[in-house]
Copies of this chain bind each other. A is one copy, B any other.
Amino acid sequence: MVDIATRVYNHKWKIDPIVRSLIDTDFYKLLMCQSVFRNKPDTNVTFSLINRSTHIPLADLIDEGELREQLDHIRTLSLSRGESTWLRGNMFYGKRQMFRSDFMEWFEQLRLPAYHLERRNDQYELTFEGSWPEAMLWEIPALSVLMELRSRAVLKGMGRFELQVLYARAMTKVWEKVERLRDVDSLKIADFGTRRRHSFLWQDWCVQAMLEGLGDSFVGTSNCLIAMHREVEAIGTNAHELPMVYSALADSDEELAQAPYQVLADWQDEHDGNLQVILPDTYGTEGFLNDAPEWLNQWTGIRIDSGDPATGAEIVINWWKSRGEDPREKLVIFSDGLDVEKILELNTQFEGRVKIAFGWGTLLTNDFRGLVPNDALAPFSLVCKAISANGRPTVKLSDNPNKAMGPADEIARYKRVFGVGEQEAVEVVV
């Protein structure tokens, strides 16, 4: 029996919106947003789309009108009553009322600020300017809209059964990964795949597959909307944008050198336990750890998000030891470019030496490699970053020179201030 009402309701949509909720975003964006709302609410920040995969001609693939429709739709969104209730009432990382009332009242009123979109040859220039807590919430929806519009562009020409078989193959691929991972009892894996997902429905499917297939090894998803719907943990801590903006705001080299620690000092005013996770690579992991204040020794864990992950883990284990900490009590989170092989390899290598968790992103929620001609659905490296704060450019170095960003002279200054020497280049796939 056809559900007539549903069909008629669906036909009323002018477009098929990709992002339908302000909490269809990563949990850590909301945590960081609350932190920024408290500590730096008046900072003016510009976020910008950066397509690191320049061989993907986004502006040829995606119609500008369709992109505008999707972005305009996101600007109509506001927090729903149920979403607000969930954020206010749910337990996150074992804690109730993670989000304070003043933040929630602000969030309930929020509409995302204007965007600036312009075609530049075969790419789009897409920027978001505004107060930091507002502009920052564009990052994830902007990326997921672009990724899904690109998927739709490729899928447009396919027949009904071709499509069904495409998804059949993709499902098989994900499930085969789940089956390989399910045999390892000790694993702890979360979905970190919102920003570069194939589509919303596909990410939702992947989360459910992990939920059924991995049992306790699946610890949750970074996506708040999916966490709410599927009743799983919302996962995430903090990201590079905090030290990048804090650093851009520094008025001297001395202040700059302290900025990344100031971020974490502000953070520990609000968070403890498994939310005290250091992201040390913004300006080079080794320098960051060597100069770290004593109070960081007590933090729970470190997230490794660039460079060779095994090397990074050895560095942080040695650092903990040098600070008199027992690494077996500490948590290492791997979150950069993971797939099954790498997850299993890292787990074997570090099991028993440190607690381990994996934030599995693009190659969980967008592994359509090899499924269509010319690999037209293969994921690619698209990011949306804070590029300036109060008119000053931001800089990111990371542990991989291929991920560095910012003006050349500022990069040179940051390298000097943070004592970054030679770095090993690692190819950035996703």
| In contact, A165 and B159 (Cβ under 8 angstroms) | no
State the CA gap A301–B1 with chains docked (Å): 43
| In contact, A213 and B175 (Cβ under 8 angstroms) | no
Q: Considering the complex, which residues of chain A in the window 151-197 have a beta carbon less than 8 Å from any beta carbon of chain B?
A: 159-162, 164-165, 167-169, 171-172, 175
A161 touches which one: B161, B162, B175 (CB < 8 A)?
A: B175
| In contact, A159 and B5 (Cβ under 8 angstroms) | no
> Does A126 lie at the interface of the complex (its beta carbon under 8 Å from any beta carbon of B)?
no
**Residue numbers in B under 8 Å from A171 (CB-CB):** 164-165, 168
> Does A106 lie at the interface of the complex (its beta carbon under 8 Å from any beta carbon of B)?
no
A209's nearest neighbour on chain B, judged by CB, is B161
A169 touches which one: B161, B164, B168 (CB < 8 A)?
A: B168
> Does A212 lie at the interface of the complex (its beta carbon under 8 Å from any beta carbon of B)?
yes
> Does A9 lie at the interface of the complex (its beta carbon under 8 Å from any beta carbon of B)?
yes
| Proximity bits, A116-141, B CB within 8 Å = 1, else 0 | 00000000000000000000000000
A213 touches which one: B9, B161, B169 (CB < 8 A)?
A: B161
> Does A208 lie at the interface of the complex (its beta carbon under 8 Å from any beta carbon of B)?
yes
A169 to chain B, nearest CB (A): 5
> Does A3 lie at the interface of the complex (its beta carbon under 8 Å from any beta carbon of B)?
yes
| Proximity bits, A200-235, B CB within 8 Å = 1, else 0 | 000000001100110000000000000000000000
State the CA gap A60–B162 with chains docked (Å): 39
A6's nearest neighbour on chain B, judged by CB, is B1
Residues of A within 8 A of B (CB-CB), count:
22
State the CA gap A172–B161 with chains docked (Å): 10
| In contact, B9 and A5 (Cβ under 8 angstroms) | no
With A168-B168, A168-B171 as known contacts, state yes or no: A161 contacts B3, CB within 8 Å: no
| In contact, A212 and B159 (Cβ under 8 angstroms) | yes
Q: Considering the complex, which residues of chain A in the window 257-271 have a beta carbon less than 8 Å from any beta carbon of chain B?
A: none
**Residue numbers in B under 8 Å from A6 (CB-CB):** 1, 3
**Residue numbers in B under 8 Å from A159 (CB-CB):** 212-213
**Residue numbers in B under 8 Å from A164 (CB-CB):** 171
State the CA gap A341–B161 with chains docked (Å): 22
With A1-B5, A1-B6, A6-B1 as known contacts, state yes or no: A165 contacts B161, CB within 8 Å: no
| Proximity bits, A1-30, B CB within 8 Å = 1, else 0 | 111011001000000000000000000000
A212's nearest neighbour on chain B, judged by CB, is B161
A211 to chain B, nearest CB (A): 8
A167's nearest neighbour on chain B, judged by CB, is B168
| In contact, A161 and B1 (Cβ under 8 angstroms) | no
| In contact, B172 and A165 (Cβ under 8 angstroms) | yes
A212 touches which one: B9, B160, B175 (CB < 8 A)?
A: B160
Q: Considering the complex, which residues of chain A in the window 270-329 have a beta carbon less than 8 Å from any beta carbon of chain B?
A: none
With A1-B3, A5-B1, A6-B3 as known contacts, state yes or no: A168 contacts B161, CB within 8 Å: no
With A1-B6, A6-B3, A9-B1 as known contacts, state yes or no: A168 contacts B160, CB within 8 Å: no
A158 to chain B, nearest CB (A): 11
**Residue numbers in B under 8 Å from A167 (CB-CB):** 168
**Residue numbers in B under 8 Å from A209 (CB-CB):** 161, 165
A168 touches which one: B5, B9, B172 (CB < 8 A)?
A: B172
State the CA gap A208–B163 with chains docked (Å): 13
State the CA gap A165–B1 with chains docked (Å): 26
State the CA gap A320–B171 with chains docked (Å): 51
A173 to chain B, nearest CB (A): 9
26 A-B pairs whose Cβ atoms sit less than 8 Å apart in the complex: A1-B3, A1-B5, A1-B6, A1-B9, A2-B3, A3-B3, A3-B6, A159-B213, A160-B212, A161-B208, A161-B209, A161-B212, A162-B175, A162-B213, A164-B171, A165-B171, A165-B172, A165-B175, A165-B209, A168-B168, A168-B169, A168-B171, A168-B172, A168-B175, A169-B172, A172-B172
6 A-B pairs with least C-beta separation: A168-B168, A165-B175, A3-B3, A168-B171, A161-B212, A1-B6
